[in-house]
């Protein structure tokens, strides 16, 4: 069982974003797409899924090293947190009463 299920209070908030990134999550998303093209992220995600489903060795199937998978995972998790932070900011603006 995943640790995410047992510690929801902790994992329902960003854990990778710094305070500076929380203050400007749009910058995280911009940097996410500076690192690689959208098509490269799609290719990586497809490899990740197919390798996971097939249970074959990563290096055997693709020219991808296991360490690369971890890097992409961290990047995607950080980007998801930035998107979450943007959503929270928008929700908070919406919930504030107008004067």
- How many distinct structural domains can be found in the chain? 1
Model pTM?
0.58
Q: What's the CA gap between 43 and 82, in Å, rounded?
A: 22
Tens of pLDDT, residues 6-63: 888 888 888 889 999 999 988 888 888 787 787 888 888 788 777 766 655 555 655 6
75-86: average pLDDT:
86
Q: Is residue 56 part of a domain?
A: yes
Q: Is residue 74 part of a domain?
A: yes
pLDDT at 26: 87
User: Which residues lie closer than 8 Å to 31 by C-beta, 6 or more apart?
Assistant: none
Only one residue has tokens 């995943």, namely 2
Domain limits for position 59: 21-91
pLDDT at 19: 94
């Amino acid at each position: 069982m995943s640790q995410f299920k047992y510690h929801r209070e902790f994992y329902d908030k960003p854990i990778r974003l710094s305070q500076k990134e929380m203050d400007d999550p749009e910058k995280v998303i911009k940097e996410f797409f500076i690192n690689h093209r959208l098509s490269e992220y799609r290719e990586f995600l497809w490899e990740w899924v197919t390798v996971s489903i097939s249970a074959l060795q990563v290096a055997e199937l693709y020219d991808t090293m296991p360490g690369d998978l971890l890097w992409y995972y961290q990047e995607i998790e950080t980007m998801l947190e930035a998107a979450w932070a943007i959503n929270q900011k928008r929700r908070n603006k919406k919930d504030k009463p107008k004067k």
